[in-house]
Amino acid sequence: MRSLLSAAATLLAGTATLVTAHSQARNPIRTLAVVQNASIHTANHRVTALSHFDLSFALYGTRHIKLSLEPNHDIISDGATVEYLGPDGSVARTETINRLDHKVYKGAAWLEDNVAGQSRQAGWARIVVRRDGADPLFEGAFTIERDHHHIQLSENYQTWIRCWSGVEMGLWLCGGIPTSLRMRWDYTKI
């Protein structure tokens, strides 16, 4: 019996997976900048959920950034659904997400050299286009030489400031997200 337990313990130990986790607080915001002269580089400045295109803009008036973007199918896969729960916790209805309704992109960030007139790849980009056309609105994140930049619409930034500064009180904070979920999202990057 003892050898059987020993063999079972050895088998379990051999199949166990060691999992480590790490989280850290975000660095404080060092600077704020307004995106200037944003332009979608297509014939009519319009994009669809399946477009490949460049998006350029300036920061601080002198730093010119170009994002080369393609559809990000990792975010919303074909056949993705949303389940709505009823009061008893059972699924009340299910809706399929139409991928073509969401302009979600990934790609590379390029830093344009004003003097030489050349660009060099300097990082990655993840962007959601909220409005295309001649005056585009977009949100997301990108890196330039390992420095992370977050782009938020002014109204979303103001909501973020209120939520994280503790202005809104009670269990349901930040647009209906419970505090525990909000913290989990922040620290694990879900």
Report which of residues 188 and 150 the model is more confident about: 150
Over residues 106-112, the mean pLDDT reads 94
Residue 6: the pLDDT is 52
Report which of residues 167 and 109 the model is more confident about: 109
Tell me the C-alpha distance between 142 and 108, whole Å.
8
Residue 154: the pLDDT is 81
Is 0.75 topped by the overall pTM?
Answer: no
Over residues 136-152, the mean pLDDT reads 89
- Give the helix ranges, DSSP H, for the chain: 2-15, 154-165, 179-188
Share of residues in the chain with pLDDT > 70 (%): 69
Tell me the C-alpha distance between 133 and 40, whole Å.
7
Residue 176: the pLDDT is 44
Residue 13's pLDDT band, with cuts at 50, 70 and 90, is very low
Lookup: tokens for 16: 């166990």
Residue 62: the pLDDT is 80
Give the end-to-end CA distance of the chain in Å, rounded to a whole number: 46
Report which of residues 160 and 170 the model is more confident about: 160
136 vs 45, 66, 133, 152, CA distance in Å? Answer: 8, 14, 6, 13
Q: Where are the domains of the chain?
A: 30-151, 154-190
What value does the mean pLDDT of the chain take? 77
Residue 5: the pLDDT is 46
Tell me the C-alpha distance between 57 and 37, whole Å.
5
Over residues 41-70, the mean pLDDT reads 93
Which DSSP state fits 8? H
Tell me the C-alpha distance between 17 and 22, whole Å.
17
Residue 181: the pLDDT is 37
- Reported as a single tens digit per residue, the pLDDT across 59-89 is 887 889 999 999 998 888 778 899 999 999 8
Please determine, for residue 170, whether its predicted confidence score (pLDDT) is greater than 50.
Answer: no
Burial 124-162 (b: 16+ CB within 10 A, else e): ebbbebeebeeebebebebebeeeebebeeeeeeeeeee
